[in-house]
Amino acid sequence: MTSGSGRCAAAILAIALASAGTSACVGSYAHRVDETEAGLIGLDARALRACLGVPTDFAIDGEREHQTYRYERDDELGAPYPPTDGDSSVVIGGGRFPTVRSYERDGFPRDEPDHSYCQLDFELTDGRVSAVSAQGRTREGMRADGTCLMRAEPCLAYADGGRAAE
């Protein structure tokens, strides 16, 4: 084997190992998302509210309760952000308040509006989570359902006192 073909084989092996490692990471994250979703099932309504706070919206339909948590503008803190109508002011409770122009982490101003969001929908039966779904979009408009669902991962810590006896 010549040294040129040896380098080529080593490069191919390195690429194969790197892609296998990347696939393992993606599979691992998807597994965490699935585990989080499964772990939320059976969670007590009180534990859910202790973890996520007051829902953005809720409805009661017979024996079922629907709770929605919606986060606008997916920032580092994950806090809900007051809605804007595209200019440099924020509408809060019917009043308009001027805002400071927002900046990216690297100091450049944000020129385009941020339409990212995360919406977590929980269905509760007899006071316990029976179904959960997540819908999310990044600032660039890419789907981020898994990332959105992971916002509820800390709620799994509340499960000890808030889970149905199995």
pLDDT in tens, the chain (166 residues): 455 566 666 656 556 555 555 444 556 888 999 999 999 999 999 999 999 999 999 999 999 999 999 998 744 434 334 344 444 555 544 555 555 455 566 666 656 667 789 999 999 999 999 999 999 998 878 899 999 999 999 999 987 655 544 4
Q: Which residues contact 164 (CB under 8 A, 6 or more apart)?
A: 42, 44, 128
Q: How far apart are CA 117 and CA 58, in angstroms?
A: 18
Residue extents of the structural domains in the chain:
3-82+115-162
Q: State residue 11's pLDDT score.
A: 58
Question: Burial of 10 by CB count in 10 Å (0-12 exposed, 13-18 middle, 19+ buried)?
Answer: exposed
Q: Which amino acid is at 17?
A: L
Q: What are the start-end ranges of the E strands in the chain?
A: 57-61, 64-72, 89-92, 95-98, 117-125, 128-137
Q: State residue 7's pLDDT score.
A: 63
Q: State residue 56's pLDDT score.
A: 94
Q: Which amino acid is at 160?
A: D
Token duo for residue 145: 């359902």
Q: For the chain, how many residues are written?
A: 166
Count of CB atoms situated within 10 Å of the CB of 123: 15
Q: State residue 141's pLDDT score.
A: 83
Q: State residue 37's pLDDT score.
A: 95
Asked whether the beta carbons of 100 and 79 are under 8 A apart, the reply is no
Q: State residue 140's pLDDT score.
A: 79
Q: State residue 160's pLDDT score.
A: 67
The topology under which CATH files domain 3-82+115-162 is: Beta-lactamase Inhibitory Protein; Chain:B, domain 1 (3.30.1450)
